[in-house]
Amino acid sequence: MPQRPTSRARRVPTLLPTLLAVLLTTTAALSQTWTETGDAGDLVGSAQSTNGSGSLTSINGVMSSHGDVDVYCVQLTSVPPSGLPLVSVACASHADPTPYLFSAAGIGLDANMTCSGGLKETVAPNISLVPGQYYVAIAHGDWLPQSAGGAIWQMLFSGPMWPNGTGAGSPLTSWVGPSTVTAPASYTLILNPNYFVFCDTATPVETSTWGALKARFGN
């Protein structure tokens, strides 16, 4: 006489969709893209911390107004050679949003207001960037970062630029620009995945999730 399937065998088809959902959730947690949550701040102290595992390839966000500046915390894993592309954003003209790179202390390192080949691209400066915490920022092209000493950059359309303003040696304190009304603008900051990872490591979920599954479906 054929044996009836045990109750545990009957549970397998029910368990499979849940396991699939867990795998998809885990894969999403390891995603290499960060999406702005709420509104990223405009200074180092209010910057949004990226959170995840593995290399960080891009950051998606929205500038809700012309004066909305977004700053994000990231981690640099090794010393990039001078001139190596680090952070870029797609553009169609010089007036489009500009990417910036700041140190952990808010000191300006590189920016690019020049749209060339469809990109505004920052590169590693001619000083060694030690591994650790850094900040990437994006602002409309006519909004410029300031420090206690004045403008950090005096922008010119000449490609990637190290800070060249009177406030170049001091930390970021504010941004200034015209009171222009514009529609919200979405953007994607593209990061060099060979050098950047998330600012914070995502909390592992496998153990607690598996424990919940065992509690629901048995050992």
- What residue ranges in 18-168 does DSSP mark as E strands? 33-35, 48-49, 51-52, 58-63, 70-76, 85-90, 98-103, 108-111, 119-123, 132-139, 144-147, 150-151
Q: How far apart are CA 42 and CA 141, in angstroms?
A: 15
pLDDT tens, position by position, 95-133: 899 999 999 999 999 999 999 999 999 999 988 999 999
Q: At residue 36, does pLDDT exceed 50?
A: yes
pLDDT tier for residue 26 given thresholds of 50, 70 and 90: very low
- Residue 157 · residue 94 · CB < 8 Å: yes
Q: At residue 217, does pLDDT exceed 50?
A: no
List the domains of the chain with CATH numbers.
33-201 (2.60.120.380)
- Residue 203 · residue 70 · CB < 8 Å: no
Q: How far apart are CA 199 and CA 47, in angstroms?
A: 11
pLDDT tens, position by position, 128-156: 999 999 999 999 999 999 999 999 998 77
pLDDT tens, position by position, 43-72: 999 999 999 999 999 999 999 999 999 999
Q: What backbone torsions phi and psi does residue 209 show, to the nearest 5 degrees?
A: -65, -45
Q: At residue 216, does pLDDT exceed 80?
A: no
pLDDT at residue number 195: 97
Q: How far apart are CA 113 and CA 98, in angstroms?
A: 5
- Residue 141 · residue 107 · CB < 8 Å: no
What pTM value is reported for the model? 0.79
- Give the residue carrying structure tokens 């001139």: 83
Amino acid letter at 66?
A: H
